[in-house]
Structure 1
């Protein structure tokens, strides 16, 4: 009885060991099979439709006065009265302050000590000197207050004719930007208030920093808003080319073979075919089609999935599709 029981126990142990080995070997084989399995190629459909496309160049810059002008008095003296404040718009020749020369200021101080009548008499005989705005523009800095003395080398006011954005553009993009072309300014301080602008000046001299060569482009707002200030950081979008109502497809739908641009076109009663197309503008995400496709043609865009029946996984680096196109899951038929 004891011998029979021991023999049965050994048989069970051998069976369990054999079963465990089979399970392990089966798991390894399955893992190896799944690991070596090639991705199943699937496709998504995209209906070609018309839309708008714009090629743009992005750059950063700083708000600066186009012409910054320091106003200095012709002689040393003292400010009697300031007629403007910072931010005031002035015209050329406008009186912005009254001043007394050092001699007049000393004489009036002596007259005042003798009484009001004496002071009035000499004030009318010896008139103050006006400080005039040399150009039309905006007062951006007021450096003096009434009663303050200064020399003829001190800047008592600073003004500018108008504000511009000086944007730094890479040398590879400079050829695409033209004088008077449109642009859009967005200030970091006011991101929800874009400002329409135009290219006012292209620099002829380059600046090289850390082996990167850039050119400074002056961008002038069509209308300068009150919140725009000198020194603000700005992002500028330059419009290079635009087209409306043109055929567009996702750029990821194309491939280039032997110098030809191809797309996979779906056919109603035949297998899909590779079609040669001619392209135009591209913004990186979408590309204009000049020849080879017509509106409402359906093209196939390759996706990837692991295993049969697995869900298609979109490439996270692929561009998003425009709202105009109709994209639905499916395979080539």
Structure 2
């Protein structure tokens, strides 16, 4: 009996200790849960009351030179390119020059068969001689008629001639004067025909009108040219290629900035990496319209002493329309920057635990060109006056901007 009682007491003790151990574990678990919850709430409350730090990308204002340019495309041409054509029709019997030949003004380039023009001149010369003879005859007849008229007038005063006879002599004198005038006019006409025939004969010799170089030859010996309705072009001759022009087409939105004498530069595909200097010579007033795009031809003069440029090359032109030295410059990205308007309230909100964060009010957005700098309470605006820009930097006038001042150009990644 004593043994059974002892076993029962041991069992009850084990059960009691187990219940106490289970109770202690539950208390520890509850305590750990409460601590974790309080830590989480504290973290959320702390994060809700603090805004993440914002960083900005900045670029310093500086002093420097600013070059404002516009771009255009054009073609290189000779200063004076002349198309030499035929003024008379006929067969080409001789061509005396080749492309790239140097020629002088008046030099013979080609010859048209002169046979029919020589015959026409001979005929005109003969007609002149006939007219000269007719004029001499008319002059003799006039002298005779005037002498007869003088005698008839003397006889009439003495009453020795009848009125009818006197009238006939007087009429003959008038007819002689008229014949003389006609003969002289005919002689003048025939001489003009002779001059025209001589000119046409001379035009069978095609000569260079200027000193220069033959760019192209568009005719071959034996070819027949017809100058009836339009003068056929036989040669293209350009003046000295040591001086050339670029004919650039400037867009209508840029032409108002272009002035004579402005500096320019251009490149050509034939010489990559080589920049050629030029000068604006003239801006034409006649518009050039292609597919609703209006442009104006601008002439640029360029020296070609090295002979690198050739007529017809395509040129990519840059014209310097404004050049400013040692001026205050700000980056264009700073002029484009605008700070975003901040939100309100914490990132996480738990009723009874979180409270709205105390955020600075949004900065007032000024009107007109503005740059922004970092201030103690966030970005601070500085109004500026824009004077000129090259697309990357802008010349401005402003109070409170000195070289070296960091200007905000963009937002950076928030700090962690």
Shorter-chain-normalised TM-score: which range? Answer: 0.5 to 0.7
Number of equivalences: 250
Distance in 2 separating the partners of 1:300 and 1:187:
39
Distance 1:150 1:91 in 2: 26
Which of 234, 237, 243 matches 1:159?
Answer: 237
- The reply on whether 1:140 has 2:215 as its aligned counterpart is yes
Of Structure 1 and Structure 2, the greater helix share is in 2
The residue matched to 1:179 in structure 2 has which SS? coil
> Judging changes above 3 Å, is the alpha-carbon distance between structure 1 residues 149 and 45 closer, same or farther for their aligned structure 2 residues?
closer
Classify the secondary structure of the residue corresponding to 1:190. Answer: coil
The answer as to whether partners of 2:55 and 2:415 remain within 8 angstroms in 1 is: no
Structure 1 vs Structure 2 CA RMSD: 3.9
Structure 1 residue 303 corresponds to structure 2 residue 416: no
Selected match of 1:291 from 398, 403, 408: 398
Cα–Cα, structure 1 residues 209 and 158, in superposed 2: closer, same or farther, change >3 Å?
closer
2-structure distance, mates of 1:294, 1:89: 62
Partner of 1:186: 267
Superposed CA deviations along residues 78-115 of structure 1, whole A, max 9, x for unmatched, are: 45462x5423444433x2536463439xxxxxxxxxxx
Deviation at 1:299, TM superposition (A): 1.9
CA distance change for structure 1 residues 149 and 302 in 2, over 3 Å: closer, same or farther?
Answer: closer
Whole-Å separation in 1 of the counterparts to 2:280 and 2:377: 52
Q: Take 1:73 and 1:238, find their aligned partners in 2: how far apart are those partners?
A: 40
Shift of residue 195, structure 1, vs aligned partner: 1.9
- C-alpha displacement at 1:280, in angstroms? 1.9
Q: Give the CA deviation at 1:247.
A: 2.1
| TM-score, normalization by structure 1 | 0.61
Give 1:40 shift: 6.3
Task: Answer yes or no: is 1:237 the counterpart of 2:314.
Answer: no
What secondary structure does 1:172 align onto?
Answer: coil
Q: 2:371 matched to which residue of 1?
A: 263
**How far, CA to CA, are the matches of 2:53 and 2:214 in structure 1?**
69
SS of structure 1 residue aligned to 2:403? coil
SS at match of 2:105: coil
What is the CA-CA distance between 1:219 and the residue it aligns to?
Answer: 2.5
Take 1:56 and 1:304, find their aligned partners in 2: how far apart are those partners?
30
Q: Which entry has the higher C-alpha Rg, 1 or 2?
A: 2
- Do the aligned partners of 1:90 and 1:136 also contact (CA within 8 Å) in 2? yes
Match of residue 291, structure 2, among 201, 210, 214 = 210
**What secondary structure is seen at the aligned counterpart in 2 of 1:193?**
coil
- Matched residue, 1:58: 71
2:235 and 2:293 map into 1 onto residues whose CA distance is: 37
CA contact (8 A) 2:58 2:409 kept: no
Match of 1:71 in 2: 84
Tell me: CA distance 1:148–1:293, structure 2 relative to 1, closer, same or farther (3 Å): farther
Which residue of the partner structure matches residue 103 of structure 1? Answer: 115
- Structure 1's unaligned 5+ residue stretches are 1-37, 105-128, 310-333
- Which residue is 1:173 aligned to? 254
Q: Equivalents in 2 of 1:137, 1:182: separation in Å?
A: 27
User: Could you tell me how far 1:226 is from its partner in structure 2?
Assistant: 2.6
Partner Cα separation in structure 1 for residue 333 and residue 383 of structure 2: 15
- The alpha-carbon deviation at position 239 of structure 1 amounts to 1.1
